């Protein structure tokens, strides 16, 4: 049975109602017990209904904070992917990143509200010492390459995976290979099958995107969040809890899309 009281909700089980009726007939102590149980139920339900209202209005506190990191050669489209994900925009004349940058976005995935702080590193070699200090505490690592430049795909295994193995601090972090610029299909130098096998070999998810065409960008981040939420070791990882700050260098922050994971 549902009763509305001052905007809150009370649920009385059949047993409670019968207890009440008997209490009115005889025992005061039973009446008090019923009332206490009912009040606490009411408080829980009032909190639940407040959370639902907050969810609906977009003001609910995130349950988790994940730190994601974008790595890959210069010009592959890391900043463009992040810009697309965070703001929905794309810039033809996107400037090369100097050092690091980050953007945040709150997403609702699988019924959970999650705050993402996505760190965008410069691909240019001269920034490598600086950017490596931002790998710390990353729950998700995104290896980005440009499908029209084969050397950027080869760099993933030759450079970026070594960097991550040296500097990332969360062993169970989720890795994803992103093949970007799929809108330039005729200039493509790396085929899907080869990418899928590479990703599988390295235990990574795999997604093909176009930041320009807004293809599978949202899905890529969503898949990463789903996999993080599915990994208990990450939910306990420093920074993944509620109310944690953004985290920085030493911080603990907190086409077709296909995926595979070993
Ligand atoms: N056609 C096409 N161009 C893209 C796409 N994504 C990015 N670009 C362009 O590629 C160029 C480089 O993109 P950035 O996002 O700056 O690349 P980056 O990986 O951040 O480069 P660094 O900051 O130097 O590491 C820019 O001119 C973008 O407009 C895409 O999906 N398709
Ligand atoms: Mg950039």
CA-nearest residue for atom 12, ligand 1, is 75
- Smallest CA-to-CA distance from 181 within 209, 156, 206, 154 is with 209
Helix (H, G, I), strand (E, B) or coil at 73: coil
pLDDT digits (tens, 9 = 90+) for 213-252: 999 999 999 999 999 999 999 997 666 654 333 344 444 3
111: tokens are 């019924």
User: 184 in ligand 1 pocket by Cβ < 6 Å?
Assistant: yes
Contacts 24+ apart (CB under 8 A), 47-54: 48/9, 49/7, 49/8, 49/9
Partners of 215 in the β-ladder: 210
Dihedral sign from CA coordinates of 79, 162, 207, 218: negative
Residue 235 φ then ψ, to 5°? -70, -25
Helix (H, G, I), strand (E, B) or coil at 116: strand
User: 80 in ligand 1 pocket by Cβ < 6 Å?
Assistant: yes
Ligand number nearest to the C-alpha of 83 = 1
Rounded to whole angstroms, how far apart are CA atoms 147 and 9?
55
Nearest atom of ligand 1 to the alpha carbon of 83: 15
The phi-psi region of residue 50 (left if phi > 0; otherwise alpha if psi is between -120 and 50; otherwise beta) is alpha
Q: How far, in Å, from the CA of 123 to the mean position of ligand 1?
A: 11
Report the predicted TM-score, pTM, of the whole model to 2 decimal places.
Answer: 0.76
Instruction: Point out the residues of the chain with pLDDT beneath 70.
Output: 1-59, 237-262
Output the pLDDT for position 35. Answer: 40
């Amino acid at each position: 049975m549902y009763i509305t009281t001052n905007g809150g909700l009370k649920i009385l089980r059949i047993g409670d109602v019968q207890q009440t009726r008997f209490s009115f007939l005889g025992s005061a102590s039973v009446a008090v017990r019923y009332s206490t149980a009912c009040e606490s139920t009411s408080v829980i339900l009032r909190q639940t209904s407040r959370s639902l209202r907050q969810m609906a209005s977009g003001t609910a506190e995130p349950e988790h904070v994940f730190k994601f990191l974008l790595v890959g050669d210069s010009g592959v489209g890391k900043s463009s992917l992040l810009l697309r994900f965070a703001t929905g925009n794309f810039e033809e004349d996107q400037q090369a990143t100097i050092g690091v940058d980050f953007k945040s976005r709150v997403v609702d995935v699988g019924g959970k509200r999650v705050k993402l702080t996505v760190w965008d590193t410069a691909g240019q070699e001269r920034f490598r010492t600086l950017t490596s200090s931002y790998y710390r505490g990353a729950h998700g690592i995104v290896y980005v390459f440009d499908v029209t430049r084969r050397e950027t795909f080869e760099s993933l295994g030759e450079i970026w995976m070594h960097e991550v193995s040296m500097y990332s601090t969360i062993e169970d972090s989720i890795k994803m290979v992103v093949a970007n610029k799929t809108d330039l299909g005729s200039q493509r130098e790396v085929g899907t099958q080869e990418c899928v096998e590479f990703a599988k070999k390295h235990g990574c998810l795999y997604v093909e995107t176009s930041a320009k065409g807004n293809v599978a960008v949202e899905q890529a981040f969503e898949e990463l969040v789903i996999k993080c939420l599915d990994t208990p070791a990450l939910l306990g990882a420093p920074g993944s809890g509620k109310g944690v700050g953004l985290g920085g260098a030493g911080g603990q922050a907190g086409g077709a899309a296909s995926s595979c994971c070993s």
